[in-house]
Amino acid sequence: MRIKATFMILALSWAMLFAQGQKRQEHGDLSPCSMVRQALDYSIQIKPGTTRREVEQHFLQDGGLQFAERTRYVFAKCNYIKLEIDFNLVPRRDRVLFSPEDTVSKVSRPYLDYPAKD
């Protein structure tokens, strides 16, 4: 009797783990480590010459006071992962401060910090 009960518990546990694995494969790995790895992968793609438009595909401007020449960004999926990016500004006649055509001149390493409040 105990052997059957133990077997049933093991079978149910295995089925639950298998179902979680399938769910993770369908929706992608949502673990914190995979999110950090994603942020790192996207951040190393940002090099001098990358446009602001390309940066903003995966990163969003952080809150607080921002400047066009040096902008602080947060990873779109986790606003605790940040970058600071220096830009070469495109000369513009209109008053747009943050042009999507500005190009990266320098990028910091990713770091962790609380989101800035406006």
List, for residues 64-100, the tens digit of each pLDDT value.
Answer: 999 999 999 999 999 999 999 999 999 877 777 899 9
Give tens-digit pLDDT for 18-58.
545 444 444 455 688 889 999 999 999 999 999 999 999 99
Question: Residue 23: CA atoms inside 13 Å, Cβ hemisphere, count?
Answer: 8
pTM of the full predicted structure?
0.72
Burial of 99 (0-12, 13-18, 19+ CB in 10 A): middle
Domain-wise residue ranges, the chain: 1-30, 31-112
Cα-Cα-Cα-Cα torsion 36, 41, 43, 44, nearest 10 degrees, comes to 140
Residues whose CB is less than 8 angstroms from the CB of residue 36 and which lie 6 or more positions away in sequence, other chains included: 78, 81
pLDDT at 9: 55
Question: Can you tell me the distance from the alpha carbon of 98 to that of 93, in angstroms, rounded to the nearest whole number?
Answer: 13
Q: Report the alpha-carbon angle 75-79-83, nearest 5.
A: 50
pLDDT at 1: 56
- Name the nearest CA neighbour of 76 among 42, 31, 107: 42
